[in-house]
């Protein structure tokens, strides 16, 4: 089981960056919840915990303490940038090596693959609390600039937010080799066993004598044959089943005995 700790940046009394009618703390929570949902519904063997699931005020120490106490395998801190630039970038701790560097490479690539129209500001390093004080590999993502109108317009688009979240989720899944859940296969509606009768027949005659002759012959081959009169025809029947596969099995047997069977379906 892979334990992924997701930290929606800021919250409560700390709105984070604000601009163009957006607050960083709202966006980070929305994105984080979607990452959690995608991981949980689409992948096996993954546990997800969020540092906050609502507009709570949390210190940075509370966040890393929670991740460390839980024993997370990976920490992701989600942020929105500010300062007048444009694009996406992410950070790992200043001096950290593999596997954190590998996770950054994989996750960065998946996010950029989802948001190809966004400027790639690169894979960076920083001495941030969330990266330094967490005991497990950690990545902090800065998802566009809230104070740049073009970036803010994208951040207001639900379809864009979904792509950002999916990039994070797919990247984490790839980094930790999470297997995909089997797509729910819709089962065919169960056949009502009593609704249809499958009749195995080997001949139809206008003359009863001909039908009787075939019945006699079939009985000689150990079939439980009999003739039934249906709509002016005498039909030679070997059996009738509620279960189609039983009818098919008998028809196969009749075929091997040299007959040309057919299965007549009849609603009961």
State the residues that interact with Zn ion by CB under 5 A. 9, 16, 79
Q: DSSP E strands: which ranges in 51-153?
A: 74-81, 88-93, 120-126, 138-145
DSSP-assigned letter for residue 181: P
Structure tokens at 13: 């009394």
Kindly state the smallest distance separating residue 24's Cβ from Zn ion, in Å.
5
Structure tokens at 18: 């604000």
Kindly state the smallest distance separating residue 146's Cβ from Zn ion, in Å.
9
Q: Of 9 and 203, which CB lies nearer to Zn ion in the complex structure?
A: 9
Q: Of 8 and 203, which CB lies nearer to Zn ion in the complex structure?
A: 8
The full length of the chain comes to 268
Catalytic pick among 142, 162, 252, 266 = 142
Q: Of 15 and 221, which CB lies nearer to Zn ion in the complex structure?
A: 15
178 Cβ contact partners less than 8 Å away, ≥ 6 residues apart: 2, 39, 43, 44, 45, 46, 172
Q: Which of 203, 219, 199 is nearest to 211 (CA)?
A: 203
Kindly state the smallest distance separating residue 10's Cβ from Zn ion, in Å.
6
Does the active-site annotation cover 42?
Answer: no
Kindly state the smallest distance separating residue 190's Cβ from Zn ion, in Å.
53
Q: Of 14 and 157, which CB lies nearer to Zn ion in the complex structure?
A: 14
Residue nearest to Zn ion (CB): 79
Between the alpha carbon of residue 141 and those of residues 2, 129, 166, 182, the distances in Å are 20, 14, 14, 29
Q: Which residues are catalytic?
A: 142
């Amino acid at each position: 089981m892979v334990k992924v700790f997701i930290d929606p940046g800021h919250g409560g009394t700390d709105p984070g960056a604000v601009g163009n009618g957006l607050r960083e703390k709202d966006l980070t929570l929305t994105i984080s919840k979607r990452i959690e949902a995608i991981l949980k519904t689409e992948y096996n063997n993954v546990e997800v915990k969020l540092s906050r699931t609502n507009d709570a005020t949390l210190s940075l120490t509370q966040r890393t303490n929670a991740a460390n106490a839980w024993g997370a395998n990976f920490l992701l801190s989600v942020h929105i940038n500010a300062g007048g630039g444009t694009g996406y970038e992410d950070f790992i701790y200043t001096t950290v090596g593999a596997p954190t560097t590998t996770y950054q490479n994989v996750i960065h690539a998946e996010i950029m693959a989802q948001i190809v129209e966004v400027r790639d500001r690169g894979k960076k390093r920083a001495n941030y609390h969330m990266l330094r004080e967490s005991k497990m590999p950690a990545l902090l993502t800065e998802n566009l600039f809230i104070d740049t109108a073009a970036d803010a317009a994208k951040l207001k688009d639900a379809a864009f937010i979904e792509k950002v979240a999916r990039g994070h989720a797919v990247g984490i899944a790839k980094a930790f080799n999470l297997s995909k859940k089997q797509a729910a296969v819709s089962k065919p509606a169960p056949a009502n066993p009593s609704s249809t009768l499958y009749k195995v027949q080997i001949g139809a005659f206008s003359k009863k004598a001909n039908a009787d002759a075939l019945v006699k012959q079939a009985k000689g081959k150990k079939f439980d044959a009999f003739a039934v009169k249906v709509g002016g025809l005498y039909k030679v029947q070997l059996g009738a089943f509620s279960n189609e596969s039983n009818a098919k099995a008998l028809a196969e047997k009749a075929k091997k005995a040299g007959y040309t069977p057919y299965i007549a379906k009849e609603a009961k």
